[in-house]
Structure 1
Amino acid sequence: EAETLLGTRIAQLLVRRLESVELVEADDLRETRRGAGGFGSTGR
């Protein structure tokens, strides 16, 4: 059993998962139902 005080440094490395994404360049964007209300629209 071990006790660690708040603020005690216990690690030198943080391992995080890195998602791999594929970027696709588009010449034009089609209108979508989601974007039909305009930028930031709540639909009201």
Structure 2
Amino acid sequence: MLELNLLSWETTLPILLIGMLGIFLVISVIVLAVTLLGKFTK
């Protein structure tokens, strides 16, 4: 059971990190787009 958990952590941790990075990138792109639109419309 312990070996299974360690192996699953080794495989899921990179996927989790990539997912968090992707979400962070998407949010930053949306914020950038909103700020740029706000500057252009004023």
Higher-Rg structure is: 1
Write 1 or 2 for the structure with the bigger share of helix.
2
Structure-1-length-normalised TM-score: 0.23
